[in-house]
Amino acid sequence: MHGSPPGPPLKAKDYKSDVKPIWCAGCGHFAVLSAITKALAHLALPREQVALVSGIGCSSRLPAYTHVYGFHGIHGRALPIASGLKVARPDLTVLVTGGDGDGFSIGGNHFMHACRRNLDLTYIVMDNEVYGMTKGQASPTTAPDWEQSRLTPHGTGLPSFNPAAIALASGAGFIARGFSGDPNGLTDLLIQGIQYPGFSFIHVMSPCVTYHPEQKSWKQTIHEQSEATTADPVIAAQRIQQNDHMETGLLFKAGSPDRSRFPAENTSLEQIARQFVTHS
């Protein structure tokens, strides 16, 4: 392994690659990309010690736009890839990015179990309530009466998924909501999430100006939560269910999870083979 060459501290732009994003002009994800690079610079993390893992979708393109190790995998499976990587390489800082369809629909089972497993991962979901890459279908977080998709011309008629509530019920220890329109607030949440030693879930409202132009009004409706962060899951559950999903901030933070240590090598293959040798 190579260490970082000594030099001046890295700036946010040093964590960006020169690959040009495929995102539409005005997409919320640009601000999320910036916030991630700012958080990494703030924490002065060596670029080679950071891995950014994603699935498929507009937001899942993000790893290629950063200059850290990246894995752009398959739809819905970012969390398992990141979980394997983190267990095999606990020395790395592992971030996971994706969208609402990737994380809550096709990857929904992994979302629950990643919360429960509580590995030291930071999961950043850019929620725009739509499948953008496939040209505008309803996702789990889409409002039931949204009629703009050809696939569901009468709306889904289904209640939208409440990611923070599911994360809480599944055992996540760090649950925050951010907004791409508040990049400083988001950067702060990302820093805290990366520093949290367990699974941190950061739900980022990030508008899709192409399929949900009305989300431009989020600027007016999204606001900071009025209460201080709670460590009590019952209070957190009540707030998450009662609020209008437009409240940002650190919604819930539990104590640090117990970390089982990576077991040290203490035997040899020869010793292991002995269990098969029969006596005579």
- List interacting residues with another protein (CB under 8 A): 1-5, 19, 46-49, 51-53, 63-64, 67-74, 76-77, 79-89, 91-92, 109-110, 112-113, 262-267, 269, 271-273, 276-280
> Measured from the CB of residue 2, what is the shortest distance to another protein in angstroms?
4
What is the C-alpha separation between 61 and 30, in angstroms, rounded?
A: 11
CA-based nearest residue to 174, from 164, 183, 184? 164
> Measured from the CB of residue 199, what is the shortest distance to another protein in angstroms?
14
Please provide the DSSP assignment of 117-164 as one string.
Answer: H--SEEEEEEE-SSBTTTTSB--TTS-TT----SSSTT---SPPP-HH
> Measured from the CB of residue 170, what is the shortest distance to another protein in angstroms?
11
Output 170 or 225, the one with its CB closest to another protein: 170
Distance of CA 218 to the CA centre of its chain: 20
Output 91 or 258, the one with its CB closest to another protein: 91
Output 154 or 279, the one with its CB closest to another protein: 279
Kind plus residue range of the DSSP H or E element containing 71: strand 69-72
Tokens of 40: 């990494």
Output 169 or 246, the one with its CB closest to another protein: 169
Give the residue carrying structure tokens 């725009």. 128
Helix (H, G, I), strand (E, B) or coil at 76: coil
Contact of 173 with 198, CB cutoff 8 Å: yes
Contact of 121 with 83, CB cutoff 8 Å: yes
Tokens of 216: 């431009």
Output 85 or 250, the one with its CB closest to another protein: 85
> Measured from the CB of residue 247, what is the shortest distance to another protein in angstroms?
30
> Measured from the CB of residue 255, what is the shortest distance to another protein in angstroms?
23
Output 83 or 142, the one with its CB closest to another protein: 83
According to DSSP, the β-strands at 174-179 and 247-253 are antiparallel
> Measured from the CB of residue 241, what is the shortest distance to another protein in angstroms?
25
